[in-house]
Chain A
Amino acid sequence: MSDMTHPTAAAKPPREHALAEAFLMLWRDKFAFLSACFLLLVVIAALFGPSLLPDQALQMNLRGRNAPPFELERGWLYILGADNMGRSLLARLVIGSRYTLMIAGSAVVLALVVGTILGLIAGYRQGRIATIILRGADILMSFPSLLLALIVLFVLAPSVGNVVLVLALSRVPVYLRTCRAEVLEIRERQFVKAAKVLGASHARIVFLHILPNVVPTLMTLATLEFAAVMLSESSLSFLGLGVQAPAVTWGLMVADGRGYLASAWWLSFWPGVAISLTAISANLMANWIRTATDPAQRWRLEKRTRA
């Protein structure tokens, strides 16, 4: 009833409070918190690992060939065991994280940028261009990503760049469709109509009114997609269609270890664990972001208070 001058909500917290608030919200969801820690660890490993362990991952040690895990006599680097050339598996996992994350990350960013731009165009401007864009996306979407990757990587050589390109290409439609659907909904909202009536330019409407409202959805999607793309990359590497040695990715490590399954299971096992944990963490983080950015859901992570 009391509509006059009584602010209904507490004053907006300053920026540092917002950060602290985000951290508290993360802390309250224990799974998301663990996921965030794990992802942070993986990112740190990918960023600094290769420069900290430049030799250990390549150093062959014939006496330590296929050394089993959980033995500390060769030092902590060998806690996960050694591969068929006596190289520390832990060190190789750290080195492998760089390519794995880099490829998945670049593909996600590339697909996100291209898909968002095309989605904005297809959603905001209807007509022939939109139709062409959507038909293209339909074609890409109607066939399994691996099938596309198979042909493309067969024709083009499977270099890092081509793998990123193929992965990005197969994921562009996901962002495109999501972005377009959101734009179609938002452009009919009254605040866009209000801006139009004020005489706002198309650029202003798209970048100031529509895009900021699409971004949270796209961020959640990108996090989810990171897991999916990493799994695709690993599958390609496992099949021998991804990046080639001497580059190392986790998927490639699983494939390399296949031949030693009977004698040294850990060669394939650990990189698979790394892939699984990273993918699970990314999925959990995506769920958390979705909850945290949805005003109607956010309360689940906020402090329980009495009204």
Chain B
Amino acid sequence: MRSYFRQRTMQSAISLFGLVVLVFFLARLTGNPTDLLLPVDTPLAVREEFAARHGFDQPMLVQFGRYLLDLLQFDFGESLRDGRPALQMVLQAFPTTLLLSFWAMLISLVIAIVTGSIAAWRPGGVFDRIASLISLAGASIPNFWIAIVGVLVFSVWLRALPTSGTGTPWHWIMPVTVLFVRPCGVLTQVVRSSMIDALASPYVKTARARGVRSRVVIFGHALRNAMLPVVTVAGDQAAGMVNGAVIAETVFGFPGIGKLMIDSIMFRDFAVIQAAVMVTAVAIFVLNILIDLAYALLDPRVRHG
């Protein structure tokens, strides 16, 4: 198991490094990084001074080394907007997004496991058909549209929920909803199909032949195995939470990392974008390791592999 774990961590680390390289070269693709890092109307003299100070006149390899060094010291540069260190801004926004994603993921998983399992109990039955259609719709309806319809119905028409801010729990209802619908739809489908497979498996038959209670058969044998693919997909969905967070935070003016990224793009604030991407990438790196751990805990074949 230790070697499996080391291998997976190594892979994630390579991916992370790949992203670092990608961001660096993308930033240089446009020719002069000062175009990215400075406001559009900066005078030429200031640009040159800036370029010299940050070593942009040096050879590419030297620049790359410097860039890596800065990264290792968590120095992403300063924000164009208010001159604060980019990393500080990102770390300030990060907990909000994390909390938002946590609630959305928790709700998704609970609903998906309950609904998917019940649907799998009688495949093709009334409950299964309804659940399948709703989960398919949940996975297909764009989340920004859910956000807008939500605002329209609950804020504009019913005046029941606030449209922006984070003050009260009421503020969290719509963003969390927007965020959980799609993963919930996807996960419900996965739970359903892997639960159908598990319930039809020979080991469930064996357990029944041993006289094991239905409750133990379903939860101890079938669901336990059905969770394996679910963990993998849930990991992907959790990593993809950023996608939804960008939308939800933009629409509901939520001060998270997603909104920060979009605002920074509008201001062409490259240092902040870079910092936000890197912090997100590290978070996903940690998430992937946690998922691998969970998987190994659930599956002894991986543990001994």
Show the binding face of A for B, using Cβ within 8 Å.
Answer: 31, 135-136, 138-139, 142-147, 150-152, 154-156, 227, 231, 234-235, 238-241, 251, 254-255, 257-258, 261-262, 265, 268-269, 272, 275-276, 279-280, 282-284, 287
**Smallest CB-CB A-B distances: 3 pairs:** A272-B145, A139-B18, A279-B140
21 interchain pairs, CB-CB under 8 A: A31-B133, A135-B14, A139-B22, A142-B16, A144-B240, A145-B243, A147-B277, A150-B277, A151-B26, A151-B277, A154-B265, A155-B27, A155-B30, A227-B140, A251-B142, A255-B144, A265-B152, A268-B152, A275-B142, A279-B140, A280-B137
The reply to whether the CB of B201 lies closer than 8 angstroms to some CB of chain A is no
In the bound complex, CA of A239 to CA of B147 (Å): 13
Assuming the A-B contacts A234-B144, A279-B140, A280-B140, are A146 and B242 also in contact, with contact meaning beta carbons closer than 8 angstroms in the complex? yes
Given contacts A135-B14, A269-B149, whether A283 and B139 have CB atoms under 8 Å apart is yes
Q: Which of chain B's residues have a CB closer than 8 A to the CB of A135? A: 14-15, 18
Report the interface size for chain B: residues with CB under 8 A from the other chain: 50
A145 to B247, CA, bound (A): 13
Chain A residues with Cβ under 8 A from B281's Cβ?
A: 142-143, 147
- Please give, as numbers and ranges, the residues of chain B lying within 8 Å of A279 by CB-CB distance: 140-142
**Which among A138, A261, A287 is the interface contact of B14 at CB below 8 angstroms?**
A138
> A280 with B136: in contact, given A146-B243, A239-B250, A268-B148 (CB under 8 Å)?
yes
Q: Which residues of A contact B18 (CB under 8 A)?
A: 135-136, 138-139
Given contacts A139-B18, A155-B30, 15 further A-B contacts (CB under 8 A): A138-B18, A142-B288, A147-B281, A154-B265, A155-B26, A227-B140, A231-B140, A235-B143, A238-B144, A241-B265, A275-B145, A276-B140, A276-B141, A280-B141, A283-B136
Q: Is the CB of A276 within 8 A of B152?
A: no
- B contact residues vs A (CB 8 Å cutoff): 11-12, 14-16, 18-19, 22-23, 26-27, 29-30, 36, 133, 136-137, 139-145, 148-149, 151-152, 156, 239-243, 246-247, 250, 261-262, 265-266, 268, 270, 273, 277, 280-281, 284-285, 288
With contact pairs A139-B18, A154-B265 given, residues A235 and B144 touching in the complex (Cβ less than 8 Å): yes
Contact A284-B136, Cβ < 8 Å, known A144-B284, A265-B152, A269-B149? yes
Secondary structure call for the A interface: helix
The residue on A at minimum CB distance from B27 is A155
Within the complex, which residue of B29, B139, B148, B151 is in contact with A155, where a contact is CB–CB below 8 Å?
A: B29
Q: Which residues of A contact B284 (CB under 8 A)?
A: 142-144
Query: Contacts of B26 on A, CB cut-off 8 Å?
Result: 151-152, 155
Closest Cβ of chain B to A30, distance in Å, is 11
Main secondary structure of the interface of B (DSSP, over half): helix
Complexed CA–CA distance, A138 and B224 (Å): 28
Q: Can you name the residue of chain B whose Cβ is closest to the Cβ of A257?
A: B148
Give CA–CA (A240, B268) in the complex, Å. Answer: 13
Chain B hits for A258, CB < 8 A: 148
In the assembled complex, which residues on chain B have CB atoms less than 8 Å from the CB atom of A146? 242-243, 246
Contact of A142 among B15, B140, B148, B149 (CB under 8 A): B15
Cα distance, A279 to B261, chains bound together (Å): 27
CA distance A60 to B196 in the complex (A): 55
Chain A residues within 8 Å of B250, by CB: 239
Given B136, B151, B265, B268, which contacts A150 in the complex, CB threshold below 8 Å? B265
Residue of A whose beta carbon sits closest to that of B262: A239
- The complex places the Cα of A261 from the Cα of B288 at a distance, in Å, of 39
If A241-B265, A269-B149, A272-B142 touch, does A144 touch B239 (CB 8 Å cutoff)? yes
> Is B247 a contact partner of A239 (Cβ separation < 8 A)?
yes
**How far does the alpha carbon of A136 sit from the alpha carbon of B15 in the complex, in Å?**
8
Known: A144-B240, A272-B145. A156 touches B29 (CB 8 A): yes
Chain A proximity of B239: nearest CB distance (Å) = 6
Name which residue of chain B comes closest to A146, CB basis.
Answer: B243
Contact A272:B277 (CB < 8 A) given known A144-B284, A151-B23 = no
Report B193 CB to chain A, min CB distance, Å.
11
Contact A139 B15 (CB under 8 A): yes
Query: Could you say which residues of chain A place their CB within 8 Å of the CB of B280?
Result: 143-144, 147
- How close is B149's CB to chain A, nearest CB, in angstroms? 7
In the bound complex, CA of A294 to CA of B161 (Å) = 47
